[in-house]
A and B are shown apart, each in its own frame.
Chain A
Amino acid sequence: AGEEVSKDEL
């Protein structure tokens, strides 16, 4: 999940 969180950024 740690890697996924920043993918919600643009």
Chain B
Amino acid sequence: MNIFRLAADMTHLISILVLLLKIHATRSCRGISLKTQDLYALVFLFRYLDLFTRYISLYNTVMKLVFLGTSFSIIYFMRFHRVVRNTYDKEQDTFRSIFIVVPCAVLALLINQERSVLEILWTFSIYLEAVAILPQLVLLQRTQNIDNLTGNYVFLLGTYRGLYILNWIYRYLTEPHYRQWIVWLSGVLQTGLYVDFFYYYFLAWRNNQKLSLP
């Protein structure tokens, strides 16, 4: 565990807490894509199947359970909470998840490290996480007056991915057997998807204006 990895995980955790805070404090999930949240739940579900087969560390197990629990509770609020569900922008959240789920599944079947069910599902989760933010970015573009917590939620998610790249560089330089092209390429693509968002986020911050994506 290096400082970049720890910072990345904590940023990821804080991003989820910011989203939960938004939902609890404002009783609203306006501007949040349920499609992206569904995809993240799928990502965690398939990636953390090794909870049952391999013990890595207490930290690892606890974080996996926290990510699974929080992602499903967010979905619960958005789908079923008496008040919150009415604030979901269903008409605006139109991205077709199938267009990213199917290609990721095909890619995981074709390009993987090992022909086993667990490995292919794990690889699928890596590919899917890379593009799972797309419905959220599309929804943000359509949202007038993006609120602070939503903007910060997406900003923290992008920061978490950027910090993972620093973690990989560090590990590549310090651990002799650390090679993972599938993870690296997916991670770089994922971080790249945020570049546009970051640009407008900093522009809004510098000019002291509300964030909006053109």
Residues of A whose CB lies within 8 Å of any CB of B are: 1-3, 5-10
Which residues of B are interface residues toward A (Cβ below 8 A)?
5, 9, 12, 50, 54, 56-57, 60, 63-64, 67, 113-114, 122, 164, 167, 171, 175, 177-180, 183
22 A-B pairs whose Cβ atoms sit less than 8 Å apart in the complex: A1-B177, A2-B177, A2-B178, A2-B179, A5-B171, A5-B175, A5-B177, A5-B178, A6-B178, A6-B180, A6-B183, A7-B54, A7-B56, A7-B122, A8-B56, A8-B57, A9-B164, A9-B167, A10-B12, A10-B63, A10-B64, A10-B67
Majority DSSP secondary structure for residues of A touching B: loop
**A3–B175 touching, CB < 8 Å:** no
Q: How far is the CA of A5 from the CA of B113 in the complex (A)?
A: 13
Bound CA–CA A2/B171 (angstroms):
12
Q: How many A-B residue pairs have CB under 8 A?
A: 32
Complex contacts, A9 vs chain B, CB 8 Å: 5, 164, 167, 183
Complexed CA–CA distance, A10 and B60 (Å): 7
Residues on the B chain within 8 Å of A7, using CB:
50, 54, 56, 122
Of chain A, the residue at the smallest CB distance from B171 is A5
B130 to chain A, nearest CB (A): 14
Inter-chain pairs besides A2-B177, A6-B178, A9-B164, 19 sampled, C-beta below 8 Å: A1-B177, A3-B113, A3-B114, A3-B180, A5-B171, A5-B177, A6-B180, A6-B183, A7-B50, A7-B56, A7-B122, A8-B56, A9-B5, A9-B167, A9-B183, A10-B9, A10-B12, A10-B60, A10-B63
